[in-house]
């Protein structure tokens, strides 16, 4: 009886070891035509107008910092923040100037598209 048990164990051992080395199958991906509908898409650009005071300017890098009033079109409260701008728009603008400006806003970032002294 002991020999039968030993033989059965020796025969079963390779099968058990083989099963341990088998990689698990990866779950199959769903092939849905609506897969893109569930993905987050980039925010659309919004146009907005604002007023404020220039607190910093770097025309060479195309950066301007404005202490602006609330901008309801993009639901921003009054704050101080930096914006990108084409360097040619910043010519003639200086720190301390009160300005009106137009923005293109994508997500939380804005680009000044026009700016005028007030």
The reported pLDDT for the residue numbered 31 is: 44
- What is the C-alpha separation between 56 and 81, in angstroms, rounded? 10
**Structural domain boundaries enclosing 108:** 46-117
Number of structural domains in the chain = 1
Helix (H) or strand (E) holding 8: helix 2-20
Tell whether 1 is covered by a domain. Answer: no
- What is the C-alpha separation between 83 and 108, in angstroms, rounded? 10
Per-residue pLDDT of the chain (118 residues; tens, 9 = 90+): 555 655 555 555 555 555 555 555 554 544 444 444 444 445 689 999 999 999 999 999 999 999 999 999 999 999 999 999 999 999 999 999 999 999 999 988 999 999 999 9
pTM of the entire predicted model: 0.64
Tell whether 7 is covered by a domain. Answer: no
Q: What pairs with residue 111 in β-bridges?
A: 84, 104
3-state SS assignment for residue 48: strand
**CATH number for the domain harbouring residue 86:** 2.40.50.320
């Amino acid at each position: 009886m002991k020999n039968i048990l030993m033989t059965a164990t020796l025969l079963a051992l390779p099968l058990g070891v083989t099963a341990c080395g088998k990689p698990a199958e990866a779950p199959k991906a769903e092939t849905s035509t609506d897969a893109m509908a569930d993905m987050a898409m980039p925010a659309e650009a919004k146009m907005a107008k604002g007023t404020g005071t220039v607190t910093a300017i770097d025309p060479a890098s195309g950066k301007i910092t404005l202490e602006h009033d609330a901008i309801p079109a993009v639901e921003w409260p009054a704050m101080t923040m930096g914006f990108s701008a084409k360097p040619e728009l910043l010519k003639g603008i200086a720190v301390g100037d009160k300005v009106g400006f137009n923005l293109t806003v994508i997500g939380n970032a804005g680009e000044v598209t026009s700016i005028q002294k007030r």
